[in-house]
Amino acid sequence: MSDYNELTPEEQQVLLHKGTEMPFTGPLTDHFEVGGHYVCKQCNTPLYRSEHKFHSNCGWPAFDDEIEGAVKKEVDADGYRVEILCAQCDGHLGHVFEGEGLTAKNIRHCVNSISMEFVAVD
Among residues 37, 64, 41, 11, the alpha carbon closest in space to that of 118 is found at: 37
Q: How far apart are CA 122 and CA 111, in angstroms?
A: 24
Indicate which CATH number applies to the domain containing 43.
2.170.150.20
Question: Total structural domains in the chain?
Answer: 1
pLDDT value, residue 99? 94
Residue 110 among the catalytic residues: yes
- 81 in any annotated domain: yes
Closest by CA position to 21, among listed 109, 92, 87, 96? 92
| CA nearest to 20, candidates 65, 69, 67, 77 | 77
Distance CA 19, CA 66 (A): 21
Task: Quote the domain boundaries for residue 64.
Answer: 9-120
- Determine which one of 40, 86, 89, 110 is catalytic: 110
pTM of the model: 0.93
Spatial distance between the Cα atoms of 1 and 6, rounded to a whole number of angstroms: 9
Q: What is the pLDDT of residue 1?
A: 43
86 in a structural domain: yes
Residue 103 lies in a domain: yes
**Does 4 map to a domain?**
no
Per-residue pLDDT of the chain (122 residues; tens, 9 = 90+): 458 999 999 999 999 999 999 999 999 999 999 999 999 999 999 999 999 999 999 999 999 999 999 999 999 888 899 999 999 999 999 999 999 999 999 999 999 999 999 999 87
